[in-house]
Each structure stands twice: as C-alpha cells, then as structure tokens.
Structure 1
Amino acid sequence: MILEERDYRLKPGKAPTFLQIYEKYGLPVQRRHLGEPYGFFTSEIGELNHVVAMWRYNDLNDRAERRAAMLLDPDWPGYLSKIDGLIDVQNIRILTPAGFFFPAR
C-alpha cells in the first residue's frame, strides 16, 4: 500500500473557489477512477491557503493505471480549465507505511 499526498498551495483568497469547483467538477471524475480519497484537508494554522488530498493505491503500478484512465476521461480537461490560475504551487509525495503500521483495509 502507498499513499499519494498532493499539496496544493492556492493563491490567497482562492481556497473557497477551488474547493467549490473541485467538489462539483473534479471530485466526481476522480471518484470514478481513483476511488474515495483517503483524506482531504485544508490548512487553518501555520501556512494558510493549502489543500491536501491523499489517495491510497496498492502500488505505483496501480496508481499509474488509475491516473492514466482519469487523464483520458473527457470531463477531466473541463475541470482543469475551471481551476486554471487558482493554484500557486503543487507538491506531490508518495508515502510508504512504516513497517509497524498496518492500516485498516
């Protein structure tokens, strides 16, 4: 099992707009291909204007296959055009669990 952490630093004041567009247009496409997010968070303390999404995959091949299918979905480019200009910086990390951590399946 791996987790993909996607951290989006949004332009100041754009988080509510991003979340509204994402919930309506992005999340349905991702659910079709990636399943339910492992977690979805916003920042309230520390550096603000962050949205963090976490997705769970069996392995890197599983991730590649699911994301490739998502990128081919005809609804995906329309979503991307709606969030154009809202994201300042995007960081992606692949996380592997420590040997003593066994998440619920």
Structure 2
Amino acid sequence: MIVDLRTYTMVPGRLNAFLELYEREGLPIQKRHLGNLIGYFVTETGTHNQVVHMWGYESAADREQRRTAMEKDPEWIAYRKKSAEAGNVQHQCNKLLRSTSFSPL
C-alpha cells in the first residue's frame, strides 16, 4: 500500500473557508476518482491552520492512474481554479509513504 500524505498550511483565518469549499465541491470529485480516503484532519496542536489528509492506493502506479484521470476531469479543473482564486492555501507538503510489513494498513 502507498499512502499519499498531504499537509496544507492555510492563510490565517482562511481554514474554515477552505474546508467548506472543499467539502462541498472538491471532496465529492476526489472520492469519485481517488477512492480510498483514509482520513482528513485539522491540527489541534503544533503548527496551526493546517489540514492533513491521507489517501490510500494499491501502488504508485494505481495512484498515478487515478490522479491523472482526476486532473483531466473538468469538474476538478473548475474546483482547482476556484480554490486557487480563494487564496486559502499558503503552503503545501506532499509525502508518499510505503507501508511496512507489520503495518495494519
């Protein structure tokens, strides 16, 4: 299993606006294309104004195929434009994680 771990740091005061837009418009598209949402979180301690989410894939090839299809979806393209224009995200960090032999996932 491959886990795509993403951390977005929001512009202070924009976290709720990001979450509202994403839940309403972005999440349904991603669920349709990416499938395995492991979790979606906001930070309580440490660096504030962060969203952390994880998506699971069978392999790197599975991830690439799913994300490529999503990037071509006109609804996703429109959502990304709308999200960028809202100016909510200040910084983004992505990590691909490979599970160990003893991981429960």
TM range (shorter): over 0.9
Aligned alpha-carbon RMSD (Å): 1.0
Given that 2:26 and 2:76 are in contact with CA atoms closer than 8 Å, whether structure 1 keeps it comes out as yes
TM-score, normalising length from structure 2? Answer: 0.93
Determine if the alignment matches structure 1 residue 92 to structure 2 residue 94.
Answer: yes
**Once the 2 structures are TM-superposed, how far is the Cα of residue 99 of structure 1 from its aligned partner?**
2.2
Secondary structure of residue in 1 paired with 2:74: coil
**Once the 2 structures are TM-superposed, how far is the Cα of residue 36 of structure 1 from its aligned partner?**
3.8
Of residues 84, 89, 101 in structure 1, which corresponds to 2:103? 101
Which residue in the other structure is 1:41 paired with? 41
Give the counterpart letter for 1:60 in structure 2: A
Secondary structure of residue in 1 paired with 2:37: coil
Secondary structure of residue in 2 paired with 1:101: coil
Which structure 2 segments of 5+ residues have no match? none
**Once the 2 structures are TM-superposed, how far is the Cα of residue 98 of structure 1 from its aligned partner?**
2.0
- Distance, in Å, in 1 between the alignment partners of 2:82 and 2:44 is 25
Considering fraction of residues, name the structure with more helix: 2
Secondary structure of residue in 1 paired with 2:8: strand
**Once the 2 structures are TM-superposed, how far is the Cα of residue 86 of structure 1 from its aligned partner?**
1.0
